[in-house]
Copies of this chain bind each other. A is one copy, B any other.
Amino acid sequence: MLAAVNATEGTDRPLRADAVRSRALLLSAARAVFAERGTEASVADVAQAAGLGKGTVFRHFASKDDLVAAIVDEMLDDLIVTTEKLLTANDPAAALREFMTAGIDLQVHNQAFCDVAAGASVRRHPLVRGKIERLESAVEALVDRARRAGVVRDDVTGQDLMLLMTGVYQTAAPMLPESPDLWRRYLALTLDGLQPQAARPLPTPAPRP
């Protein structure tokens, strides 16, 4: 019930060699299993893929959510790096489009990431929330640049772009088994709505950052 016996409980004294190995095996197994079958794959499945007992999972991660959060955290790091690189790209409009493409691609190829992008409980996990905010501020900078270049309407925010990124994926999701590229259609449609020329006043303000 309480804070649980995480390997790094409070103070982080060094792990024993076998524990280091177990942790790495678990993370690697979780990456593969959750990517393919989503977060509803069982903890027992992850433990088996790692060649360990399922009790060991809970020695290293206080809950299944904590394990999922660790995986998703890595993926968010990758996306943050990609986004920050795009901040120095030549074409600000293309940079914005490439951020959206990278984020949606991640969801298409990783079932775990799109579970989280949609409402899964891991979204509220402190580790994940923090990373989402870091990503959001990088995207905010990306939008600012595009706005100054006059290639995006001036009433949209970085958070809008973040939400639209997952929204575009979700729009196409029901058809993706039959039409794996359909998300590109709804991305294009969304980008058309983001043009300054298309702008009509929005009825609801962006939520406070």
Task: Report A194-207 CB contacts with B as 1/0, cut-off 8 Å.
Answer: 11011110111111
The copy count of this chain in the complex is: 2
A127–B138 Cα gap in the complex (Å)?
A: 45
| Chain B residues near A118 (CB-CB < 8 A) | 118, 170, 173
| A108 CB to nearest chain B CB (Å) | 13
Contacts of A190 in B (CB 8 A): 189-190, 193
Q: Does A18 contact B (CB under 8 A)?
A: no
- Residues of A contacting B: mostly: helix
B200→A186 contact, CB < 8 A: no
Chain B residues, Cβ within 8 Å of A199: 192
Q: Which residue of B lies closest to A190 (CB)?
A: B193
Known: A182-B204, A184-B204, A198-B197. A163 touches B189 (CB 8 A): no
Task: Evaluate whether A204 and B185 lie within 8 angstroms (CB atoms) in the complex, with A174-B163, A198-B197 already known.
Answer: yes
Q: Of residues A167, A172, A190, which shows the largest number of chain B Cβ atoms within 10 Å of its Cβ?
A: A167
A contact residues, range: 35 or more
Whether A156 is near chain B, meaning CB under 8 Å from some CB there, is yes
Measured between beta carbons, the chain B residues less than 8 angstroms from A171 are 163-164, 166-168, 170
Tell whether A178 is near chain B: CB-to-CB under 8 Å: yes
Known pairs A119-B173, A185-B204; list 11 more (Cβ under 8 Å). Answer: A160-B189, A163-B175, A166-B171, A167-B167, A167-B186, A179-B204, A182-B207, A189-B193, A189-B202, A192-B198, A193-B193
Write 23 A-B pairs (CB below 8 A) sorted by A numbering: A118-B173, A119-B174, A123-B174, A163-B172, A163-B175, A164-B186, A167-B170, A168-B171, A170-B170, A170-B171, A175-B207, A178-B207, A182-B207, A188-B200, A189-B190, A189-B194, A189-B202, A190-B190, A190-B193, A192-B199, A193-B193, A193-B194, A195-B198
